Chain A
Amino acid sequence: GIQVEQSPPDLILQEGANSTLRCNFSDSVNNLQWFHQNPWGQLINLFYIPSGTKQNGRLSATTVATERYSLLYISSSQTTDSGVYFCAVEEDKLIFGTGTRLQVFP
């Protein structure tokens, strides 16, 4: 089955810093979604992005399907950005990656 790997596994930032999270996948996919899981466990859909670039406030995402990767950019990070970021790709079902745990300190 398809493998979904995310990097880095852990990231510690000071408030105001920028970061880039990466998602690599081992085969062609129909679409890709990014999620944020906050410290209370709630999973929030950030982007539905099978290809191209999208932006939402301080967050943006780019998927290059032909090269089998997606990037999530977080600018001017805030403490509320802390949590785990997952990418998920569709094979015949939605497969979640290993996650990047982000901690933002004031």
Chain B
Amino acid sequence: EAGVAQSPRYKIIEKRQSVAFWCNPISGHATLYWYQQILGQGPKLLIQFQNNGVVDDSQLPKDRFSAERLKGVDSTLKIQPAKLEDSAVYLCASSLDEGRGSSYNSPLHFGNGTRLTVT
């Protein structure tokens, strides 16, 4: 099966600019996640979608980050305006999990990520 697709692979922007990342999950996967991974750390969840609804966005900096998942398939994550500390790899993941609250009852599959550098 095709994996989780992400684009672009790399992005370099100046601070205060805007940037958007795109993710296409594995076909049929109901749950989609965006993670931020800062160099040397484990991934941190930014937002979780169940179909096209938000399950958890408690760690999303909502003053500058936004995400949407139209029609319950593809998703975009936007940063506006970017700060230096936003430099990181942004990972999209999906799982088959149909829900039951926020239970992670199936394995996560990750895309290759987008490496963002803010200068």
Q: Nearest chain B CB to A43's CB is how many angstroms away?
A: 4
A41–B56 CB distance below 8 A: no
Report the count of interface residues on A (CB-CB < 8 A).
Answer: 21
Cβ A92 vs Cβ B56 within 8 A: yes
Closest CB in chain B relative to A68 CB, distance in Å: 17
Given known A45-B107, A45-B108, A48-B107, contact A93–B91 (CB-CB < 8 A): no
Complex Cα spacing A98 to B44, Å: 11
Other-chain contact of A92, B42, B102, B112 (Cβ < 8 Å): B102
Which of B58, B103, B115 is A90 in contact with, Cβ under 8 Å?
A: B103
Interface size for B (C-beta < 8 A) is: 25
Q: Is the CB of A93 within 8 A of B42?
A: no
Q: How far is the CA of A44 from the CA of B3 in the complex (A)?
A: 11
What's the Cα separation between A6 and B108 when bound, in Å?
Answer: 20
The complex places the Cα of A44 from the Cα of B110 at a distance, in Å, of 7
A48 and B106 contact, Cβ closer than 8 Å, known pairs A41-B89, A41-B113, A93-B48 = yes
User: Which residues 37-91 in B have Cβ within 8 Å of A in the complex?
Assistant: 41-45, 48, 56, 58-59, 89, 91
User: Does B109 sit at the interface, judged by CB under 8 A?
Assistant: yes
Which residues of B pack against A, CB within 8 Å? Answer: 33, 41-45, 48, 56, 58-59, 89, 91, 93, 102-110, 112-113, 115
